[in-house]
Amino acid sequence: MRLLGIRYKMWLDSTAQRRYVMDGITERACFFRKHRDLSIENSLRLVECTLAPLLAFSGLVIIWLEKEFKQLTAAFVRCNKEAWHMSPNTSTALFMFPRDQGGLQIKMPRAIICLAAWSHLTQCCQFDVGTRQRAEITYKDALKQHGCLDMEDLQFEAEFLTCDQASQNTFAFACHLTSTLGIKVSWDPFHPICHTYRCSTGDDNYSTPGPHTTKGRVEEGSNHGGGGKGETSNHAIRRRRNVHDEN
């Protein structure tokens, strides 16, 4: 796989690629520290154009453990501190807090890999050229392995998986990332009829192919084919399981 630009050995050893990513982030942090004459605006533009692609390119191929995510986060924050010409002792919370709370809200490694994962799945399911069939097999395997009925149920179950367990299946890994980020994805990629999804952002409604992400839980009053009025599919599934257990 070296010809694709990913340092991955045939016996599933990705140590070289992980080291390459970490060294790349460290290099950029050292570059910003050395070139203090570079303006903050240009430094931030360089961070945006280099850090995210460096990680996202191999994000789905390489398995990052939980402790490695913490190391990645620390490296990303350090690089951003240097880009902002800040002291290394500056609080990390400043970069993680939302903008409306006075933070800088930089895109962290987990969010970058999450976006790369869902973009990859969307492209695989969009065209009927062989990748869609392979994706459907992977999706059904994830549902069967974790005892789920749909995407929302898989996201609920993936929240309790470790990063290593979830990484064995692409759909499970993507759902694990959204669950840890507090995002809910509403998507039925292999529905026989509907291939576009109705999204709502404030007063604007539009249809778009691919998954629709929303913060937090599904709104009360929405019915997703699982129960009565105002009942989400997760609630309906858990209700049916409880009834089955009682019987």
- For residue 40, being part of any structural domain is answered with yes
Domain end call among 65, 86, 107: 107
Same domain as 116, residue 102: no
- For residue 185, being part of any structural domain is answered with yes
Could you tell me which residues are beta bridge partners of residue 3?
A: none
Look-up: residue for tokens 């292999």?
190
Residues of the chain with confidence (pLDDT) below 70: 1-5, 7-12, 192-247
For residues 209 and 220, is the Cβ–Cβ distance under 8 A? Answer: no
- For residue 225, being part of any structural domain is answered with no
Give me the number of domains the chain comprises. 2
Same domain as 149, residue 71: no
What is the model's pLDDT at position 32?
Answer: 92
Same domain as 20, residue 87: yes
- For residue 227, being part of any structural domain is answered with no
**Six-digit token string for 34:** 């050395």
User: Tens digit of pLDDT for each residue in 207-245?
Assistant: 444 565 555 433 333 333 334 333 444 444 444 445 445
Task: Tell me the residue range of the domain where 15 lies.
Answer: 2-107
pTM of the model: 0.72
CA-to-CA separations, 85 to 31, 32, 142, in angstroms, rounded? 12, 8, 45
Same domain as 8, residue 103: yes
Same domain as 120, residue 97: no
Same domain as 85, residue 129: no
- For residue 224, being part of any structural domain is answered with no
- For residue 243, being part of any structural domain is answered with no
User: Helix, strand, or coil here: 205?
Assistant: strand
